[in-house]
Amino acid sequence: MEEPILKVENLEVGVKKDTGFMNIVNNISFFLKKGETLGIVGESGCGKSMTSLSIMDLTPASVSLKSGKILLKDKDLTAMRKNERRKVRGKEIAMIFQEPMTSLNPVYTIGYQIVEMIRNHQNMTKKQAYQHALNMLQLVGIPRADEILHEYPHQLSGGMRQRVMIAMVLSCSPEILIADEPTTALDVTIQAQILELMKSLQEEMNMSIILITHDLGVVAEMCDRVVVMYAGEIVEESEVHELFENPKHPYTKGLLESLPDVDEDREYLSSIKGTVPSPSEMPEGCRFAPRCAFASEKCQEDPPVFRVNQKSSCKCWLFEDSTAE
């Protein structure tokens, strides 16, 4: 198998407290291959955003990395100095957010911001960068791109802003794109267009994508492999077909059983009773056990990750007969 382009190993992220370190992300490991799309799914508060912000080194000030490695090819990002890390950001790994206004600056024109981004990472004259910005806007399907370059973010619709942000992050041809709920705030038609756009740009650039989403329909449409997160941990990792046809973890099954009504996409978890525990009140042993229909005595002990077959692994005692990883 080709070496993964990105490997996250035993990552622990959390908040320093007087009483000790409170984990938000607890010892997670996963990898991303060249050209593939990896989905990260899980209920609100499971640590999806903290995981991706850690990869970007963009976590809020109160949140820090406790241990683990983030390997981009052979380089361990966690061992880098801030300024080296900044160079990786944008050029090698870029991120788009749910709300594009978090990455667009309201006081500068679209053109200024894209040109700055390009010139920070690529050796181009202003004129070349401007031309490149124009090409990128056209590539993401923005009409009257030459006019838009002179406009400010607030003059655009949500869908257009999201396209601008995609054009901006892709203008430096990152090898890895992390998209955190990139389309949740958009209406269904625009959402489909943006996803289609990401897919075609991915093919063109052979980019690898980490796609964070609540929407299992989007996962089915876009992803090759999926990581399921629960309460700061990875409870299942599966190839996408395997995940839908033969889900392993009781939590994954719960997610699949509660696929949403079209217009109630935030409600899809109704079939799993209870809520995700907060980082300060994590249950001992298996963190899902208090909500799990299959829980037994054994679950008071924290299960390791078991490799179930070539296509999936699962952190649940039900798969004890498989090999521990």
Ligand X SMILES: Nc1ncnc2c1ncn2[C@@H]1O[C@H](COP(=O)(O)OP(=O)(O)OP(=O)(O)O)[C@@H](O)[C@H]1O
> Which residues contribute to the site for ligand X (CB under 6 A)?
15, 24, 42, 44-50, 60, 62-63, 278-279
Site for Mg ion in 6-65 (CB under 5 A): 49
Least gap, CB of 98 to ligand X (angstroms): 8
Residue recorded with tokens 């897919």: 199
Q: Which does 303 bind (CB under 5 to 8 A by kind): Mg ion, ligand X, none?
A: none
How far apart are alpha carbons 40 and 252 in whole angstroms? 12
Q: Which residues pair with 208 in a beta bridge?
A: 176
Whose Cβ is closer to Mg ion: residue 49's or residue 252's? 49
Q: Which does 22 bind (CB under 5 to 8 A by kind): ligand X, Mg ion, none?
A: none
Whether 229 and 215 have beta carbons less than 8 Å apart is answered as no
Q: Decide which of ligand X, Mg ion, none touches 223; Cβ closer than 5 to 8 Å per partner kind.
A: none
Q: Beta strands 233-239 and 225-230: pairing type?
A: antiparallel
Residue 155: CB minimum distance to Mg ion, A: 28
CA distances from 121 to 9, 76, 87, 162, 168 (A): 28, 20, 7, 21, 12
Greatest alpha-carbon span in the chain: 67
From the list Mg ion, ligand X, none, pick the one residue 270 interacts with, judged by a Cβ distance below 5 to 8 Å according to partner type: none
Residue 58 interacting partner from ligand X, Mg ion, none (CB closer than 5 to 8 Å by kind): none
317/314 Cα distance (integer angstroms) = 9
Q: Which is nearer to ligand X, 44 or 102 (CB)?
A: 44
User: In the complex with ligand X, which residue's Cβ is closer, 94 or 229?
Assistant: 229
Count of residues near Mg ion by CB under 5 A: 1
Interacting residues of 110 by C-beta distance below 8 A, sequence separation 6+: 104, 137, 148, 149, 150, 151, 152, 153, 156, 164
Residues that bind Mg ion (CB under 5 A): 49
